[in-house]
Amino acid sequence: MEKDKLNNLRHTLAHLLAAAVGEIYKFDKIKLTLGPSIDNGFYYDIDFCGEKVADSDLKKIEDRMRKILPKWTEFEHKEISKEEATNFFKNEYKVELINEIADRGEKITVYTCGGFTDLCRGGHLENPSKEINPDSFKLDRVAGAYWRGDEKNKMLTRIYGLAFENKEELDAYLKQREEAEKRDHKKLGKELDLFTFSDLVGAGLPLFTPNGTILRDLLDGFVWELRKAAGYVKVDIPHITKKELYETSGHWEKFKDDLFKINTREEHVFAMKPMNCPHHTQIYNRKQWSYKELPQAYAETTKVYRDEQTGELGGLSRVRSITQDDAHVFCRLNQSGEEMRKIYKIVKTFYGSFGFILKPRLSLHDPKNMQAYLGTEEVWQNSENALRKIIEENGEKAIEALGEAAFYGPKIDFLAKDAIGRDHQVATIQLDMNMPERFNLYCINEKGEQERIVMVHAAIMGSIERFLAVLIEHLAGNFPLWLSPVQVKVIPVRENHNEYAKEIFNLLKENNIRVELDDEEANLGGKVRDAKNNKLPYWIVIGDKEIEANKVTLESRDAGQLGQMSKEELLSKFLEEIKNKK
C-alpha cells in the first residue's frame, strides 16, 4: 500500500475510534480533542471528564469500531464558518483549534462519515467499509497525554491503535515488537549494569557505570582509529559559549528556545553548547591558511546539551546530554568530494562490523520554503548534487527526503536496518557552504587571493547514547569479544582448582584481556548460568582434566562447547579475534 493511502487508512481509523468511544461513553459526557495517524497506527486524545478508561476497556471499544465500520461508506466534506464550528463542537479543546485555524486565515473544514462529524483537514479513505480489513487493526494501549503536549494543561486519555494494510502485516509487527521488548536497551542496560539515571541528577542525563564506560570508550576508539587513518586530528572545546557565536552561525535564531542558557554575574548570556561546529570554525579561523595546508580535519568526542521536553525523553534514545563523535573538515570545494568519500568509507566499515545493513537517505532543502534555510538556491543545488554524486559512486541509490535538510546544508543520513528489521537513522555527512560564509572562512589560493572554503560535517555514531541504544537492541546485549566489558570468566570447579584457575586469570589479564575469576564457593552450574545471564562471550572451566593436561576447556556464548586447548592457543585465539573485531 502506498504511504499516503496507509496514512489515510490510519487517520480514518482515528475517526472511527472517536465515533466508537462517543457511542459507548456518550458524546455529551466526554470531550473529543484530536486524533492523527502516526507510525504503525493512530491515536485519539479524549477528555473523559472523570471517567476512568483502562486497557481492559479496549476490547469493547474495538468491537464497537468493527460493528459500525460497515456503515462508514463515504466521507462528506464541508467548509463552515468559525461561528458555525464553535456552535457545533462547543468543547474548549475544539474551540481552541478552531480559533487557531481562523487566526491563520485557513478554511475550517469538517468531515462526516457514518453519521459522525469531526473537525479535520482531510486525508481519509473514500470508502472505509470496503477499504479497511477489520482484522488489520487493533487497539493497543491507554496512556496519559497533556493537551497539546504541555504539562501545564489538563491530562487527557490517549488511546493508541495499530493499523496495517492486512492482518499478516499487523501480526508481523506484533511479533517484531515482542522481540523488541526482549531487546529493550533500558531493560538490558540495567541487567548488564551499563547505565543508570538518578532523580537527583535529572531526567535525560544518563550516568554510565564502569561497564558502560568501557563500551563508550571502545566504540569511540574504533571511530578514532578509522578517522586517524583518514588524516583527522583531535581538538577540544569548552562546553559553553557566548550567545554571539550562535547568533553568527544562525543557531540562536532557530534554536534559542531549545538551549540551556547561563546568565553570568557580569550579565553576559552564555549557552551550553547544543552543537560543536561553530566552535570548530573558530579553531580554523585562528590563522590564515594556504591552500597547500588544506584540508584541515578536526575530530572531537564531546557532550552537547539540549533542553528536550520531559515527555520526549526515553532511555538513551532521547537525552539532554548528548555525546557526539563530531568531526568537521575545512577544505576547498574541489577537495570536498574526496573528503566525503573517506567519511562514506568510515561509515560503511564501522556499521558493517556490527552487521547493520545501511541505506543512504539524501535530506534535501524545500525550494518552496527557502526562508527556513541559510544561503541561496544555487548554493543548495550545488551542495545536493555533490552529495548525490558520492552516493552514486558507491553504487547506491538514495531515498530522497524533501525538506529534511539541516538549515545550513543538505546531508546524507544513513539508515541502519537492525537484526529484527527496524530502521534507525544513524551516521550523517553534511556539505555546508553556508557556515563558512557566515564566519568568513577562507584560504589563500594559488593566485594569492582569498578563496571561500566549505565545511564537511561528519558524525559516525552521532550520539553515542542513541547509538548504544540501537546497538544493545540490535545485538540483544550479546557484544562481540572486542567490545564486551567482561570478555571471559575463569571458573574453577572446586576449591582445589583455584590455583591453576588463577594462573589462567593472570595470564589473560597480563595480556589486556578483560577477565574475571569466579572462585566463589558455589556450584558449577550456577557459575556457568551467571556467565550466560551476563552474556559473556566466553568462559573457561577448570577441573581435574584441565590441570592434568595443562590446558583449558573453553565454552562460547555463540558457538557452545569448543573443547580443550593450550594456554597459548587460547591467548592467540582471543588476541586475533579482538584485533580483527570479529
Q: Is 185 annotated as a binding residue?
A: no
Q: Tens of pLDDT along 350-371?
A: 999 999 999 999 888 888 888 8
pLDDT the model gives residue 567: 94
Q: Tens of pLDDT along 207-246?
A: 999 999 999 999 999 999 999 999 999 999 999 999 999 9
pLDDT the model gives residue 546: 94
pLDDT the model gives residue 380: 81
* Chain-centre distance for alpha carbon 117: 37
CA distance 34 to 513: 57
Catalytic option among 47, 326, 413, 519:
326
Polymer length of the chain:
582
Q: Tens of pLDDT along 265-310?
A: 988 889 999 999 999 999 999 999 999 999 999 999 999 999 988 8
282 labelled catalytic: no
438 labelled catalytic: no
Q: What is the DSSP string of 141-208?
A: EEEEEEGGG-TTS-EEEEEEEEE-SSHHHHHHHHHHHHHHHHH-HHHHHHHTT-EE--TTT-TT--EE
335 labelled catalytic: no
Q: Tens of pLDDT along 472-510?
A: 999 999 999 999 999 999 999 999 999 999 999 999 999
161 has pLDDT over 70? yes
- CA-derived radius of gyration, the chain: 29
530 labelled catalytic: no
Catalytic option among 31, 280, 306, 365:
306
326 labelled catalytic: yes
Catalytic option among 64, 94, 124, 411:
411
Q: How far, CA to CA in Å, does 242 sit from each of 269, 277, 301?
A: 6, 14, 21
Q: Is 239 annotated as a binding residue?
A: no
Check residues 462 and 374 and name the one with the higher pLDDT. Answer: 462
474 labelled catalytic: no
Catalytic option among 11, 64, 280, 328:
328
pLDDT the model gives residue 103: 92
DSSP code, position 113: E
Q: Is 328 annotated as a binding residue?
A: yes
CA distance 74 to 111: 10
pLDDT the model gives residue 1: 59
Catalytic option among 64, 138, 324, 342:
324
**Average pLDDT value over all residues in the chain:** 93
Catalytic option among 216, 424, 457, 489:
457
The amino acid occupying position 198 is: S
pLDDT the model gives residue 305: 95
415 has pLDDT over 80? yes
Q: Tens of pLDDT along 90-134?
A: 899 999 999 999 999 999 999 999 999 999 999 999 999 999 999
pLDDT the model gives residue 582: 77
561 labelled catalytic: no
Give the domains, in start order, of the chain with CATH numbers: 3-177 (3.30.980.10), 190-236+271-475 (3.30.930.10), 488-579 (3.40.50.800)
Q: Where are the alpha helices (DSSP H) in 74-137?
A: 82-89, 92-103, 128-131
